């Protein structure tokens, strides 16, 4: 089978012919139809992600496909089922063996492409806003990087939870996507002063930040007293220094969120969250946005779209296994 792999950190991945895996005792073999890309894939290539895989490693942290075979202890009911899998790796391939416990059956109305980009982006935003910050109806939510894979879902979920949403993104095209997702106010990070614009709108109760750098600093200065700031990632490449005295004066809380980490210490949080999210999808209340879909043979181009910030929403790579 074909798999998009890295053999050395810091070097470009390659599309390689590798043996098809066999499922272990508690695993299933998935015939992969689509894989959603994440900023973490870029960090993995450089060896900078918090969980380093053993090399050679197949990229792709989340995927969707059909269960093709079962390990001896995997639930028989999964055979032949359409599933989404948060794999942590192995998604950019034609087949993969994954723990049965990580398989989520798909609603009939959900395509493989939608499912492949659903779990990390929507899961991150829902756990962040519901479980971590307890976002309340009527509060003001500021979303940085609001046209990115997780940013758009934060806008969408924030509106579903009853917040007033301020979306910050770069350029008219990306702001248009955030507006379609439900943002009430739009701030262009290229041409407008983020701090002044947010303060003019009354300040932020909750900040959702997958960007870091100067935008974190500006957002902190635009917070209301007792605001909560969620650190999701550092797409800018700049990990900000947090001035503790500012937190003290305004009684502001800063929280970090690594969605995948809950698999190791509170998997029940993710299970409840996914149940709510798939329910919302089935009710037509969530509309996944995929800006680019490319075949596995063009996986490097797909990663370049993410790296160069030329995408809005999710970038998905497909195989011919649908």
Domains along the sequence of the chain with CATH: 2-118+288-318 (3.90.180.10), 121-259 (3.90.180.10)
Count of beta carbons in the 10 Å neighbourhood of residue 300: 13
**Averaged over 83-110, what is the pLDDT?**
93
* Percentage of residues of the chain with pLDDT beyond 90: 77
- Give the mean model confidence (pLDDT) for residues 26-31: 97
Report the pLDDT value the prediction gives residue 127, as an integer from 0 to 100.
Answer: 96
Q: Residue 249: what pLDDT?
A: 87
Q: What is the CA radius of gyration of the chain?
A: 20
With bands split at pLDDT 50, 70 and 90, how would you rate the model's confidence at 34?
very high
Q: What is the three-class DSSP state of 50?
A: coil
**Token pair for residue 6?**
């890295």
Per-residue pLDDT tens over the stretch 268-283 = 898 889 889 999 999 9
Angle between helix 267-282 and helix 119-126 axes, rounded to 10 deg = 110
For the ranges 21-35, 81-95, 260-274, the lowest mean pLDDT is seen at 260-274
The pLDDT score that the predictor gives to residue 77 is: 95
pTM of the predicted model, to two decimals?
0.86
pLDDT at 149 over 60: yes
Q: Which residues of 194-203 are buried (b: 16+ CB within 10 A; e: fewer)?
A: bbebbbebeb
Q: What is the DSSP letter of 293?
A: E
> pLDDT band at 300, cuts 50/70/90?
very high
In sequence order, which ranges of the chain are alpha helices (DSSP H)? 39-46, 112-116, 119-126, 149-160, 172-180, 194-200, 213-221, 244-250, 262-265, 267-282, 299-307
């Amino acid at each position: 089978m074909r798999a998009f792999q890295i053999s050395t950190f810091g070097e470009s991945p390659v599309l390689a012919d590798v043996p098809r895996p066999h499922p272990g005792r508690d695993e299933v073999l998935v015939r992969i139809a689509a894989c959603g890309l994440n900023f973490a894939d870029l960090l993995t290539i450089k060896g900078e992600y918090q969980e380093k895989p053993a090399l050679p490693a197949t990229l792709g942290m989340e995927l969707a496909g059909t269960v093709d075979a079962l390990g001896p202890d995997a639930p028989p009911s999964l055979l032949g089922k359409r599933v989404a899998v948060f794999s942590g790796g192995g998604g950019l391939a034609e087949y993969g063996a994954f723990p049965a416990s990580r398989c989520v059956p798909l609603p009939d109305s959900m395509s493989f492409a939608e499912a492949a980009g659903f779990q990390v982006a929507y899961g991150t935003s829902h756990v962040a806003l519901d479980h971590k910050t307890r976002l309340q109806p009527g509060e003001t939510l500021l979303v940085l990087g609001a046209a990115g894979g997780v940013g758009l879902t934060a806008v969408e979920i924030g509106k579903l939870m009853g917040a007033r949403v301020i979306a910050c993104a770069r350029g008219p095209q990306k702001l248009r996507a955030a507006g379609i997702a439900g943002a009430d106010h739009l701030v262009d990070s290229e041409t407008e002063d983020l701090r002044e614009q947010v303060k003019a709108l009354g300040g932020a109760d909750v900040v959702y930040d997958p960007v870091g750098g100067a935008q974190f600093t500006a957002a902190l200065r635009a917070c209301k007293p007792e605001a909560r700031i969620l650190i999701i990632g550092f797409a800018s490449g700049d990990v900000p220094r947090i001035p503790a005295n500012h937190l003290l004066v305004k009684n502001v809380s800063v929280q970090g969120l690594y969605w995948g980490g809950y698999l190791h210490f509170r998997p029940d949080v993710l299970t409840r969250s996914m149940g709510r999210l798939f329910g919302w999808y089935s009710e037509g209340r969530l509309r996944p946005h995929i800006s680019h879909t490319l075949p596995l043979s063009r996986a490097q181009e797909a990663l370049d779209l993410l790296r160069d910030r030329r995408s809005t929403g999710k970038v998905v790579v497909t195989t011919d296994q649908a």
